[in-house]
């Protein structure tokens, strides 16, 4: 059944895309490591204002793990545990984030079905993997979108695998909005996830969070292939044994 869905997604693609060779150029900026966040490093380190000096599109979280971050068009939004969406001030701190300038980038139009796997199949078809990080902004109209957010934590901070057991999940039968995020190559697996990390924000700013699933959609894609990488490592990283984080644990918090 999964193979059938993936084939259906491929058949639905209507592609208008600029060759990748002409697009490579941009810097991925990262605050801390995903592995540190997994271990409970929720101490805010870099402000939202500083993040937007490094990129206009991205994702992450906030001090004490207080909700999900969606950065789009140079604005930073918080998708909170209670379901609310707010624009945050420049002084709001983040313990973990990824941002990049998407600029004019490259553009493509398409559609997909078959759930989250169908979306990834469409993105992989439109932007073939070249072992480079890619930032995505995917605007469209979607069916059956599922997102999550997490509550602010109290010290001593628990690991993220424990936090997501109490996550709030929100669903929308129809939603127009934007999916933002990244595809990370396998060699970045020691400092981030491998593959896709995506967040969603509705156009009316009433619904959003970490993207868990989406049934189908008609999309307008903009993306940029990134050939430089800059990282800020907070002092708090030294408090954790990052080697203890496993790929299975990262998959659990990313896709569940």
Give the Cβ contact number of residue 181 at 10 Å: 23
pTM recorded for the entire structure? 0.90
H helix or E strand, kind and range, residue 17: none
Phi, psi of 117, deg, nearest 5: -60, -35
What is the rounded distance in angstroms from the CA atom of residue 81 to the CA atom of residue 220? 29
DSSP 8-state class, residue 165: G
Q: Across-strand partners of 148?
A: 169, 210
| C-alpha 190 chain-centroid distance | 17
What is the rounded distance in angstroms from the CA atom of residue 210 to the CA atom of residue 199? 4
- Write down the residue that tokens 């950065």 correspond to: 71
The answer to whether the peptide bond before residue 64 is cis (omega within 30 degrees of 0) is: no
DSSP 8-state class, residue 229: E
Please answer whether residues 72 and 201 qualify as being in contact, where contact means their C-beta atoms are separated by less than 8 angstroms: yes
The confidence score (pLDDT) of residue 13 equals 36
- Write down the residue that tokens 């801390």 correspond to: 32
What is the rounded distance in angstroms from the CA atom of residue 130 to the CA atom of residue 161? 31
The confidence score (pLDDT) of residue 3 equals 39
pLDDT band of residue 253 (cuts 50, 70, 90) is confident
CA distances from 175 to 5, 93, 237, 245 (A): 21, 29, 38, 34
What is the rounded distance in angstroms from the CA atom of residue 121 to the CA atom of residue 148? 22
Mean pLDDT for the stretch of residues 148-162? 97
pLDDT at 191 over 50: yes
Residues 88-121 have pLDDT tens digits of 999 999 999 999 999 888 999 999 999 999 999 9
The confidence score (pLDDT) of residue 24 equals 60
Mean pLDDT for the stretch of residues 14-31? 62
The confidence score (pLDDT) of residue 105 equals 81
Return the C-alpha torsion angle 242, 60, 163, 253, nearest 10.
-70
Q: How many CA atoms lie within 13 A of 69 on its CB side?
A: 31
pLDDT band of residue 236 (cuts 50, 70, 90) is very high
Mean pLDDT for the stretch of residues 196-211? 98
pLDDT band of residue 245 (cuts 50, 70, 90) is confident
What is the rounded distance in angstroms from the CA atom of residue 232 to the CA atom of residue 49? 15
pLDDT at 205 over 90: yes
Residues 143-153 have pLDDT tens digits of 999 999 999 99
Please answer whether residues 244 and 42 qualify as being in contact, where contact means their C-beta atoms are separated by less than 8 angstroms: no
pLDDT at 8 over 60: no
Mean pLDDT for the stretch of residues 22-30? 79
Pick the more confident residue, 246 or 169: 169
The confidence score (pLDDT) of residue 256 equals 59
- Domains identified in the chain and CATH numbers: 2-255 (3.30.1330.80)
């Amino acid at each position: 059944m999964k193979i059938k869905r993936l084939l259906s997604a491929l058949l639905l693609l209507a592609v208008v895309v600029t060759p990748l060779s002409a697009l490579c150029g941009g810097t991925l900026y990262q605050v801390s490591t995903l592995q540190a966040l997994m271990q409970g490093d929720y101490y805010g380190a870099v402000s939202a204002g500083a993040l937007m000096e490094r990129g206009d599109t991205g994702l992450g979280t906030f001090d004490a793990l207080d909700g999900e971050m969606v950065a789009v068009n140079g604005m930073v939004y918080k998708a909170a545990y209670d379901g609310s969406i707010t624009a945050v001030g420049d002084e709001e701190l983040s313990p973990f984030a990824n941002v990049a300038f998407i600029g004019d980038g490259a553009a493509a139009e398409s559609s997909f079905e078959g759930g989250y796997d169908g979306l990834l199949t469409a993105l992989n078809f439109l932007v073939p993997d070249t072992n480079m990080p890619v930032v995505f902004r995917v605007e469209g109209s979607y069916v059956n979108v599922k997102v999550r957010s997490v509550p602010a934590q109290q010290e001593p901070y628990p690991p993220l695998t424990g936090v997501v057991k109490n996550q709030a999940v929100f669903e929308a039968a129809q939603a127009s909005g934007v999916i933002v995020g990244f595809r990370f190559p396998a060699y970045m697996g020691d400092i981030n996830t491998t593959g896709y990390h995506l967040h969603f924000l509705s156009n009316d700013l009433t619904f959003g969070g970490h993207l868990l699933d989406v049934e189908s959609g008609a999309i307008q894609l903009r993306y940029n292939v990134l050939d430089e990488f800059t990282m800020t490592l907070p002092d708090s990283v030294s408090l954790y044994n990052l080697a203890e984080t496993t790929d299975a644990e990262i998959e659990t918090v990313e896709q569940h």
